[in-house]
Amino acid sequence: MRTSLDCIPCFIRQALDASKMITSDEKFIIRAMKRVLAAISDFDLGLTPPEAGQVIHRIIREEMKDPDPYLKLKELSTARALELSGRIKITITGSKNPFETAVRFSIAGNIMDFGMRSDWDEAHIMSSFEKAEREPIDLKSLECLYNEIKNAKTVLVLGDNAGETVFDRLLIEVFPGNARVYYAVKGSAVINDATAEDARQAGIENVAEILSNGVDSSGTLLNKCSGEFLSIFNDADVVISKGQGNFETLNNAERKIYFLLQVKCKVIADFYNFRHGEWIVADSNSLNKTN
Amino acid sequence: MRTSLDCIPCFIRQALDASKMITSDEKFIIRAMKRVLAAISDFDLGLTPPEAGQVIHRIIREEMKDPDPYLKLKELSTARALELSGRIKITITGSKNPFETAVRFSIAGNIMDFGMRSDWDEAHIMSSFEKAEREPIDLKSLECLYNEIKNAKTVLVLGDNAGETVFDRLLIEVFPGNARVYYAVKGSAVINDATAEDARQAGIENVAEILSNGVDSSGTLLNKCSGEFLSIFNDADVVISKGQGNFETLNNAERKIYFLLQVKCKVIADFYNFRHGEWIVADSNSLNKTN
């Protein structure tokens, strides 16, 4: 999916927010923002948003001399997710359809995204979990996903944000069948996307093999991913992609992918005729572009 | 008041919104946005926000080959304001303190501002008028303003937005005393700020002499205003400044000025310890900066 003009103000706000998390020294922030603005003025809008974001967040990390500006927010997300996970695991295992309930909480966890907003808003986050069991989702796609996992030899889950990973673990725990499960993370820090270390803190190691995609982008840039990642991506029987960044970079991928995400911006909503805020369970073959 | 880092994402969004009002042709918008981004990357943050905005909106008007991109919004604002004005005039004249009530509706009219948002939101606009009579304002400053106007030989009102001008007219109609009244407008179009033509459509000519400040900026840039404007600005017994743009450029002016505005952004709110959304009636001598 290409970058929209509407992504531009959002990128600038994101860069400013990220800079402010690291320093209150205007000199540094101004220098970083000048570089970000100049970079964006030079952008090819044919790039996907995560490719554009990659350039911006590299500048921020470089100028701020901080390899992981969102580290504190990521740690807070994982800690809060672990706190919530006990109760949610009981809800999942006690429910009529534990797989469906686990998918629902995995999508609920997608709210832990600090690309759109950079402050911790407890009420905003909790409202996502509170509606997990009643938010409309596509139950037909869910059933197909269940059956494909049940029959799969290998399943690859493409992780999104730190914290959200905890709920992905709860989902993997109730996968049907006996597939070998891989959990892909980002090669290094970008926004609050989960890295291998973040995934370990969420306990992913207990349910899946952690696999770095090798890239510092908030999506999955197939043309830049490691050979090891690509081989598993291509050969896995089922690929599940979490979140917007992965969606924006894989919506046109050649293989079938199941997308689980919350639609968090108007750009994606308009592109696929989704509703802003909608919870998506869909496979790539069923997506219908509106423009 | 200098431009804040937080103004940057807002400028970019404003430039994009203004471009989209003129064309849906991405080629033109991208070219304009690239110039805007490059210009902002080169900005001196020592400028006031209206000085920075002046550069940006000149680029948009030039690239879009449109001397007045907000013309339709301005015409809609004036038409809607004229519709509302009949009922509001009755409310003013029938009230216990017509001057206070007129000041209140003049501040209510300050909601017709398309710098912050570029769509017409009827509910948002109407809520401003609905609370006009009960919103807290500084009654002591109001009384001082009343007494100064009563004793003045000349009063200068610095207008802000088209549409809002209609309510400024209702205020001037109930000025006490016999002062000669000037109503300053922008030299040419910038955002939805009132020009001489917009003021005429609002009926200002019937109550005041329309005076161009000579500049295409959403504030009052004294170092660029015409000699005629400056002479009246300096000599007037009372100067009333409407809106945020004028406030941002005159908050440090040497002469006493009465400011009437709604605080519409966090940058100004933080700078003066105002509340976001607060309605201000204050003279420049009483302002206390927080940083």
Domain A7-63 architecture? Orthogonal Bundle (1.10)
- Which chain B residues are closer than 8 Å to A45 by Cβ? 26, 30
**Structure tokens of B9?**
């994402």
Report angle CA A222, A223, A229 to the nearest 5 degrees.
50
pLDDT given at position A283:
96
Nearest residue of chain A to residue B15 (CA atoms): A9
Q: What is the pLDDT of residues B16-34, one digit of tens each?
A: 999 999 999 999 999 999 9
CB-nearest partner of B41 from A6, A29, A41 = A41
Q: Could you tell me if A69 and A61 are in contact, meaning their C-beta atoms sit under 8 angstroms apart?
A: yes
* B291 pLDDT higher than 70: no
* A290 pLDDT higher than 70: no
C-alpha B231/C-alpha B219 separation (Å) is 18
- Give how far A14 is from chain B: nearest CA, Å: 9
- Which chain A residues are closer than 8 Å to B9 by Cβ? 9, 12-13, 16
- Which chain A residues are closer than 8 Å to B35 by Cβ? 41
Classify B165 in phi/psi space as left (phi over 0), alpha (psi -120 to 50) or beta: alpha
Q: In CATH, which superfamily holds the domain spanning A71-286?
A: Uncharacterised protein PF01937, DUF89, domain 3 (3.40.50.10880)
Contacts by B54-59, CB closer than 8 A, 24 or more apart: B54/B190, B54/B215, B54/B216, B54/B217, B54/B218, B54/B221, B56/B11, B56/B14, B56/B15, B57/B15, B57/B18, B57/B190, B57/B191, B57/B216, B57/B218, B58/B216, B59/B15, B59/B32, B59/B35
CB-nearest partner of A9 from B6, B16, B30 = B16
Residues 5-64 of A with CB under 8 A from B: 5-6, 8-9, 12-13, 16, 20, 26, 29-30, 33-35, 37-38, 40-42, 45
Q: Do B16 and A38 touch (CB under 8 A)?
A: no
* B271 pLDDT higher than 60: yes
Nearest residue of chain B to residue A7 (CA atoms): B13
Q: Could you tell me if B211 and B157 are in contact, meaning their C-beta atoms sit under 8 angstroms apart?
A: no
- Which chain B residues are closer than 8 Å to A59 by Cβ? none
Rg (CA), chain B: 18
pLDDT mean across residues, chain B: 95
**Structure tokens of B53?**
């905005």
Residue type, B260: L
- The interface pTM score, or ipTM, of the predicted complex is 0.82
Confidence of residue A119 (pLDDT cuts 50, 70, 90): confident
- Which chain A residues are closer than 8 Å to B34 by Cβ? 41-42
pLDDT given at position B290:
59
Domain boundaries, chain B: 7-63, 71-286
Out of B79-83, B113-117, B139-143, B275-279, pick the least confident: B113-117
Classify A154 in phi/psi space as left (phi over 0), alpha (psi -120 to 50) or beta: beta
Q: Do B45 and A37 touch (CB under 8 A)?
A: no
Nearest residue of chain A to residue B26 (CA atoms): A5
- Give how far B3 is from chain A: nearest CA, Å: 12
Nearest Cα neighbor of A51 from A189, A227, A212, A248 is A248
Inter-chain Cβ pairs, chain A and chain B, closer than 8 A: 53
Q: Do A30 and B45 touch (CB under 8 A)?
A: yes
Arithmetic mean of pLDDT, B249-264: 96
Q: What is the pLDDT of residues B187-205, one digit of tens each?
A: 999 999 999 999 999 999 9
Arithmetic mean of pLDDT, A227-237: 98
Q: Could you tell me if A218 and A186 are in contact, meaning their C-beta atoms sit under 8 angstroms apart?
A: yes
Report angle CA A144, A262, A115 to the nearest 5 degrees.
140
pLDDT given at position B228:
98
Residue type, B200: R
- Which chain A residues are closer than 8 Å to B28 by Cβ? none
Contacts of B279 (CB under 8 A, 6+ apart): B104, B107, B135, B136, B137, B261, B262, B263
* A291 pLDDT higher than 60: no
- Which chain A residues are closer than 8 Å to B7 by Cβ? none
CB-nearest partner of B9 from A6, A16, A34 = A16
Q: What is the pLDDT of residues A137-150, one digit of tens each?
A: 999 999 999 999 99
Percent of chain B predicted with pLDDT > 90: 91
pLDDT given at position B287:
85
pLDDT given at position B119:
83
C-alpha B69/C-alpha B57 separation (Å) is 9
CB-nearest partner of B37 from A6, A30, A41 = A41
Q: Of A18-22, A173-177, B110-114, which has the strongest mean pLDDT?
A: A173-177
Nearest residue of chain B to residue A24 (CA atoms): B5
DSSP string, A211-271: EE-S--SSS--TTTS-HHHHHHHHH-SEEEEEHHHHHHHHTT-SS--EEEEE--SHHHHHH
Q: Do A8 and B37 touch (CB under 8 A)?
A: yes
Nearest residue of chain B to residue A28 (CA atoms): B5
